[in-house]
Amino acid sequence: MLVILVLAGLSEGRTLIVDYAGSGDSKTLAGAVFLAEAGDTILVSSGQYSGTYLNRSVALKGMPGATINGGAGSALIVSAPGCEIYGLTLEAGGSSPAVSLLSSGNVLNGCDIRSSATGVLVSGGNNTLSETSINCPIGVELNAAGCRLINDTLQGDTGIRLKNAAENEILGCKISSTSGIEIESSRRNKVINNTFSGMGFGVVLTSAEENQVSNNDFSGQYVSAIDTIESQENDLSRNRITGGKIGISLRRSNGIDLSSNHCINNERAGIYSDSSFNCTVKESELSGCGNGILLSGSGSCLLQDNRAFNGTYGISLRGSVGTSLRNNSLYSNRYNLRVDAGEVSSTSLAQTSTDFYRQDIDSSNQVEGRPVYYMVGEKGREISGSCGFLGLVDCDELLVLNQSISNSSAGILMVNSTGCRVKNSSISSCEDGMYILKCRDWVVESTAALRCWQGFSIAGSTNGLLEKSLAGNCSDAGYRGDDSLNLTFRDSSAESCGTGILLKGSRLCSVLRCSARQNQEDGVLLSSSHKCLLAENQVSMNDRGLSLSGSNSCTLMNNSVADNAQDGLSFSQLAGAEVIDNRAKRNGQGIFVQSSRKLNISGNELSSNLRYGLRMSGSRECNVSENKFSKNEISGANLVDCSGNMLYHNIFIDNGFQNAVDNGDNSWDAGSKVGGNYWSDHAVSGNPGSTPRQIPSKGLDRYPFQYPWGWR
């Protein structure tokens, strides 16, 4: 009674008591509403009551334990303006909202709302929800203007959904939902000082403009904590985001301002922009992320005064154009800075792939405490000061000296440049030690690339020389050339890489006096690379030594291939090659030829290989002459399903089980005047002799020689 008297004293109107036991003014809530007038207070006693319409501008207050249950309908539908609803438990079990605020200026405070559908539907303006707990699949649906949600707690699938809503405020709420807040086709709303946890999306803005999402705390395994889709001019600032896939995602959005955000341990990216333009990322801290900032297919963005550290990539510009970087600090990332052409989907932004490298990056940016030198359109300069990242784009005749660079996507990036030289430099722990794209007449000399994914990667370039350089411990390839012309690798080494030297789709290239040792796959591999020269190389202790696949009209001369696990020299699907004066020793097999034709294999020493000196399969029209086959463990030469090949003037000495085996239609001599081969297991008189030597299981040397080199 004392509480009733106090409440009555505070109200200008009457106080009506609802008590199902009959001690008040009405046993039902509907009855009390019927009796009430504007300005009255309805006090609901402990107990459960049926839902009703609130069509009087009254205060509705619940005593502890007061519950309104709408059953299959709504617990409360408010159609009168200026109502105040306090301290009630409001429940609904059907598809209708537990509470519908159809009118304006209402206050819902300190309530507990539960529903199998929507908790609160707000279609009237200037309503306030505060200190309320809502546990529903959809917490609040808000389709109005000027409303406020303050210090509410929401759980369920979707916390708050705004559609066609404007100038609302969501302040200090705690939201634990799969999807926290969805803002669609809405303007000038504020989401400030809230706490989010969940596994889907924290705040999603779709076709939304001029909204503010700031000073919020996000944690959990969100796909994206803040996600904008086809939105513009939104302010996303001073948020703290920990964990999840992406901190802040901009998709097909424009003019977004991201300032002073903290993104921590986001798996893919702290801040991610996809096909978005004119966005600004400033004064943000990005720690332990897959990418601190990742721009993909985006344009005209400004990144300024950000710090990215302890992540995989610091800042990545992928298939983006017109980006400005100012005073960013990148450190302790596996790869600090990445600039590349990105995915195929970005190609519509630029006329050529080189446009994606024309970025505005000045030396105020720091990588590991050293300035970034990103030169665009420079000519005739010498770059000798120590830098953290070096980019040369559209440059002519630049000389780069004495650099020591580590931990970026490309330590030295050279794009669409002519006549540039890099000397006496060291690059380590990068994806590409050097990446050379569409450059001409360039030289790299006395430079080392260590512990990179690819040491030196060259694409679409011409007339390049890589000399006296080293690629070591590179995971994929020490040197790689794709779709390039007239590259020369000279006096250089590839050691302990995936593949030592790899050329794909590159013509008229030369590999001269190089060393390829202890590489996991091929020492030197050419694929679809025609008319190349490989000479005087030392290739040892790789899985395969020198391998050519689909690379026609190449020449291999005076190479030494030894101790390779499989083939010393491997040829597959070739038309024409000169294989002359090479030495293949102690390999799995000396030379392997498969599905090839018109190879000239001459003057080679093939000895002490674990299986065969020469193994040919499905090949034809090859010339095999002047070779020495000795002490190969299974046989000197083994031909399987081959035809039309000529084998003569070869020496076969002490090869394992058989000096030679042939099941096809091949010629083992060149007639009575030229003769056949020398066989250590077949004594004859004369050079050539006239006692034929049978080749198991089908061939025949009609004119074998008495002495080695007896034809000379």
Mind giving me the DSSP string for 230-281? S-BS-EEES-EEESSSEEEEEES-BS-EEES-EEES-SSEEEEEES-BS-EE
How far is 289 from 466, CA to CA, in rounded Å?
Answer: 36
> CATH classification of 412-657 is 2.160.20.10, yes or no?
yes
- β-pair type (246-251, 307-309): unpaired
Contact of 466 with 439, CB cutoff 8 Å: no
pLDDT at position 229 is 98
Confidence of residue 98 (pLDDT cuts 50, 70, 90): very high
> CA geometry: angle at 84 spanning 79 and 89, to 5°?
90
**Rounded Cα gap, residues 596 and 574, in angstroms:** 5
CATH 2.160.20.10 location in the chain:
1-122, 412-657
Q: How far apart are CA 29 and CA 32, in angstroms?
A: 5
Q: Could you give the CA distance from residue 218 to residue 425 in angstroms, rounded to a whole number?
A: 44
426-476, pLDDT tens digit by residue? 999 999 999 999 999 999 999 999 999 999 999 999 999 999 999 999 999
Mean residue pLDDT across the chain: 95
Token pair 């983006």: residue: 320
Which pLDDT does position 352 carry in this prediction?
84
In this predicted model, what pLDDT tens digit does every residue of 623-658 receive, in sequence order? 999 999 999 999 999 999 999 999 999 999 999 989
**What is each CA distance from 334 to 29, 305, 368, 392, 431, in whole angstroms?**
65, 20, 11, 22, 9
Fold category of 1-122 in CATH: Pectate Lyase C-like (2.160.20)
pLDDT score recorded for residue 9: 43
As a whole number of angstroms, the distance between CA 615 and CA 662 comes to 10
For tokens 């309503």, name the residue: 127
Q: Is the pLDDT of residue 47 over 60?
A: yes
Residue 344 pLDDT level (bands cut at 50, 70, 90): low
**Nearby residues of 280 by Cβ (< 8 Å), 6 or more positions away:** 256, 257, 258, 259, 301, 302, 304
Q: How far apart, in whole angstroms, are the C-alpha atoms of residue 651 and residue 630?
A: 8
What is the phi/psi pair of residue 178, to 5°?
A: -55, -50
pLDDT the model gives residue 119 = 97
Element (H, E) at 366: strand 366-367
The residue written with tokens 């081969």 in the block is 677
Gap between the Cα atoms of 57 and 136, Å rounded: 27
Mean pLDDT, residues 612-627 taken together: 97
Q: What's the angle, vertex CA 667, arms to CA 661 and CA 668, rounded to 5? A: 60
Cα 367 to the center of its chain, rounded Å: 21
How far apart, in Å, are the Cα atoms of 30 and each of 89, 143, 242, 353, 558?
A: 16, 27, 48, 71, 103
What confidence score (pLDDT) does residue 406 get? 96
Strand 658-662 versus strand 693-695 pairing type: unpaired
pLDDT for residue 12 = 64
Q: Number of C-alpha atoms within 13 angstroms, CB side, residue 87? A: 14
pLDDT of residue 3: 40
Indicate the pLDDT class of residue 220, thresholds 50, 70 and 90: confident
523-575 tens-digit pLDDT: 999 999 999 999 999 999 999 999 999 999 999 999 999 999 999 999 999 99
pLDDT at 691 over 50: yes
Q: How confident is the model at residue 346 (pLDDT cuts 50, 70, 90)?
A: low
Q: Which residues pair with 671 in a beta bridge?
A: none
673 DSSP assignment: T
- Return d(Cα 264, Cα 281) in angstroms, integer: 16
Taking the C-alpha atoms of residue 648 and residue 669, their distance in angstroms, rounded to an integer, is: 5
- List, in sequence order, every residue forming a beta bridge with 601; answer none if it has no partner: 579, 624
CA 574/CA 590 separation, integer angstroms: 18
Instruction: Please check the confidence at residue 345 and state whether its pLDDT lies above 60.
Output: no
Other CB atoms within 10 Å distance of the CB of residue 369: 9
Q: Phi and psi for 264 in degrees, rounded to 5? A: -130, 125
Q: How confident is the model at residue 385 (pLDDT cuts 50, 70, 90)?
A: confident
- Give the residue-averaged pLDDT of 566-594: 97
Measured CA to CA, the distance from residue 165 to residue 267 in angstroms comes to 33
- Please confirm whether the linkage preceding 680 is cis (ω < 30° from 0): no
Place of tokens 């083992």: 668
Helices (H) then strands (E): counts for the chain: 2, 86
pTM for the full model?
0.90
CA distances from 69 to 23, 92, 99, 112, 415 (A): 21, 6, 10, 12, 70
Is the model's pLDDT at 347 over the cut of 70? no
d(CA 277, CA 326): 17
HSE-CB of 417 using CA atoms within 13 angstroms: 32
In this structure, are residues 471 and 516 in contact, taking their beta carbons and an 8 Å threshold? no
In 3D, which of 711, 626, 697, 700 has the Cα closest to residue 666?
700
- Is residue 11 scored above 90 in pLDDT? no
Cα–Cα distance for residue pair 405/390, rounded to 1 Å? 8
Which 3 state secondary structure label does DSSP give 452?
Answer: coil
Q: What share of the chain is helix, strand, coil (3-state, %, to 5)?
A: 5, 55, 45
Specify the 3-state DSSP secondary structure of 690: coil
User: What is d(CA 91, CA 98) in angstroms, rounded to the nearest whole number?
Assistant: 6
